Amino acid sequence: MKTVFSPLHSLRSAKTELDGGILIEPHEKPSRAETILARVRSQTLGEVIEPDEFGLEPVKRVHTADYVEFLEHCWADWVAEGKPGEAIPAVWCGRGMRPRMPKDIDGRLGYFSFAAETSISNGTWEAACASANVALTAQKLVANGERAAFALCRPPGHHAHADLFGGYCFFNNAAIAAQAFRDQGYERVAILDVDFHHGNGTQAIFYDRSDVLTISLHGDPDLVFPHFLGFEDETGEGDGKGYNLNVIYPPGTPYSEWSRGLETACKRIADFQPSALIIALGVDTFEEDPISFFKLKSTDYVSLGERIAQLGLPTVFTMEGGYDVDAIGVNVVNVMQGFESEK
Ligand code: OKP
Ligand code: MG
Ligand code: ZN
């Protein structure tokens, strides 16, 4: 299958992530994408192409105009205020306070975020736009008849809500691709999120809709990020009732356990009869991942790819998390090779 990759991802190179009360080098760093790309090439997975430019219209089908505007100007506004470091939110609308957008950049950073680990800096906007273009280009390949395509997105997207950044994510690339399918006449689209973390943004974006089925398999939010969404009693609301599925697991979960949820997810997807499938692909489920607690092994990713392929659906893979940079290339490409072995 083809891989869509933009060198502009490297513009997303924040110096800081707030972790454990100190500023560390971000886990979500440029070498992640470079390592995956190198493995795609060394395994001759298929052609690597650069994305087309889609502009902001398909982004705004998912994200609010005021949020997009905020992201575009955030860094310049921060610098104009004479702030010495990177832009980090430090105040939020707590319970009982008023959810209105303040003028001040500190206020807007809090208004448009749900977490503080993710710094905004020079180039963040450009890389986030490129990442959305990568997803939209992969979506177009599949809409034009390819069985599957790999959107090597960076920064990732699944934590981004319609108007919130956080968890290393700014634009929800998987949601943008799903909405593009809908806007091109695909009646039903399924998004399966296999990243270690709950796809809270994706869930929230489609929560009241029955045309996009959202499923996420992840670490128990009682114990890990994003903490405030992703529980199993969240099944959708209004028209969307029954069209969101969360499967949560405890620390130490191996593939033998994890794959039971995958099976449940695949049955639900088959039942839904979507015309396209998006896989929000994180490999932070890996046993050596530095910020996660599952125990998947490199060979398990081949099985995962095979199972996804058995659904027999036009499939777009969007890259999400995975922070063991030494293994990320092997694990990601194993999914694609497992997928292709099932054709
Ligand atoms: C992004 B994606 C580490 C805390 C990590 C943020 C996690 C974001 C994950 N001490 N908090 O889903 O891989
Ligand atoms: Mg997940
Ligand atoms: Zn993750």
**How far away, in angstroms, is 332 Cα from ligand 1 center?**
18
The protein residue with its alpha carbon nearest to ligand 1, atom 13, reads 321
Pocket-testing residue among 24, 291, 294, ligand 1, by greatest number of atoms within 8 A of Cβ: 291
The protein residue with its alpha carbon nearest to ligand 1, atom 2, reads 321
> Is residue 2 helix, strand or coil?
strand
Mean pLDDT of 174-187: 99
- The pLDDT > 70 percentage for the chain reads 100
Asked whether residue 154 carries a pLDDT value surpassing 80, the answer given is yes
Q: pLDDT digits over 110-140, tens only?
A: 999 999 999 999 999 999 999 999 999 999 9
Asked whether residue 343 carries a pLDDT value surpassing 80, the answer given is no
Q: Which ligand is nearest to the CA of 157?
A: 1
* Mean pLDDT of all residues belonging to the chain: 98
Mean pLDDT of 150-175: 99
Separation of alpha carbons 144 and 276, rounded Å? 12
Asked whether residue 322 carries a pLDDT value surpassing 90, the answer given is yes
Active site residue 27: no
Pocket-testing residue among 25, 27, 227, ligand 1, by greatest number of atoms within 8 A of Cβ: 27
Q: Taking CB atoms and a 6 Å cutoff, what residues make up the pocket around ligand 1?
A: 19, 117, 156, 159, 167-168, 195, 197, 225, 282, 284, 291, 320-321
- Helix, strand and coil content of the chain, in percent to the nearest 5, comes to 40, 15, 45
Q: Which ligand is nearest to the CA of 159?
A: 1
The protein residue with its alpha carbon nearest to ligand 1, atom 8, reads 167
Give the list of residues 6+ apart from residue 292 with CB closer than 8 angstroms, or none: 196, 197, 219, 224, 284, 285, 286, 323
**How far away, in angstroms, is 222 Cα from ligand 1 center?**
14
Q: What is the DSSP string of 162-200?
A: TTBBBTTBSS-HHHHHHHHHHHTT-S-EEEEE-SSS--H
- The pLDDT > 90 percentage for the chain reads 99
pLDDT of residue 132: 99
Mean pLDDT of 288-315: 98
First and final CA of the chain: distance in angstroms? 11
Pocket-testing residue among 197, 198, 200, 203, ligand 1, by greatest number of atoms within 8 A of Cβ: 197
pLDDT of residue 27: 98
Asked whether residue 49 carries a pLDDT value surpassing 80, the answer given is yes
**How far away, in angstroms, is 297 Cα from ligand 1 center?**
20
Q: pLDDT digits over 225-253, tens only?
A: 999 999 999 999 999 999 999 999 999 99
pLDDT of residue 342: 87
Q: Which helix (H) or strand (E) holds 36?
A: helix 30-42
Exposed, middle or buried: residue 82 (CB in 10 Å: 0-12, 13-18, 19+)? exposed
Q: pLDDT digits over 192-206, tens only?
A: 999 999 999 999 999
The protein residue with its alpha carbon nearest to ligand 1, atom 9, reads 167
Instruction: Write out 53-69 in H/E/C secondary structure.
Output: CCCCHHHHCCCCHHHHH
Question: 27, 158, 159, 197: which one is catalytic?
Answer: 159
Q: Which ligand is nearest to the CA of 22?
A: 1
The protein residue with its alpha carbon nearest to ligand 1, atom 6, reads 167
Asked whether residue 5 carries a pLDDT value surpassing 80, the answer given is yes
333: tokens are 């490409």
Which ligand 1 atom sits closest to the C-alpha of 156? 2
Mean pLDDT of 78-91: 98
